[in-house]
């Protein structure tokens, strides 16, 4: 769990202050076990996958996201401007990107 200032800096830095405060106030503790425990799957299911990279993300390095998309999913990342939370800071742009992916 991170505090509201750190959360704003990492997740909502491009949001208006009132939106960032609202979002930070709704964060809850999250288990880190999922990040440290190997998946029980022998391989990922065969489904079409896409990966959206937010160029200004401070929580997940955009370069890592580009690399993970290629190496783990076999796709080139779709990029857009914005922070870790485009659903709050750029909802219309995110909707256009999602719409383009489902075609």
pLDDT tens across 25-64, in order?
999 988 888 788 888 888 878 889 999 999 999 999 999 9
| 54 CB-contact burial (10 Å; exposed 0-12 / middle 13-18 / buried 19+) | buried
What is the number of structural domains in the chain?
1
- Residue 36: the pLDDT is 87
pLDDT for 88 beyond 80: yes
- Residue 54: the pLDDT is 98
- pTM to 2 decimal places: 0.84
Q: For residue 69, give Cα distances in angstroms to 4, 8, 38.
A: 30, 26, 19
Closest CA to 54 of 72, 80, 25, 20: 80
Boundaries of domain holding 66 = 4-102
């Amino acid at each position: 769990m991170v505090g509201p200032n750190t959360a704003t800096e990492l997740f909502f830095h491009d949001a208006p202050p009132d939106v960032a405060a609202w979002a930070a106030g709704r964060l809850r503790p999250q288990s880190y076990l999922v990040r440290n425990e190997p998946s029980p799957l022998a391989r990922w299911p065969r489904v079409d996958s896409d990966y959206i990279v937010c160029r200004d993300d401070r929580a997940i390095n955009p370069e890592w996201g580009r690399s993970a998309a290629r190496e783990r999913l076999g796709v080139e990342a779709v990029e857009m401007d914005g922070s870790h939370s485009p659903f709050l800071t750029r909802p219309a742009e995110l909707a256009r990107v999602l719409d383009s992916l489902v075609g």
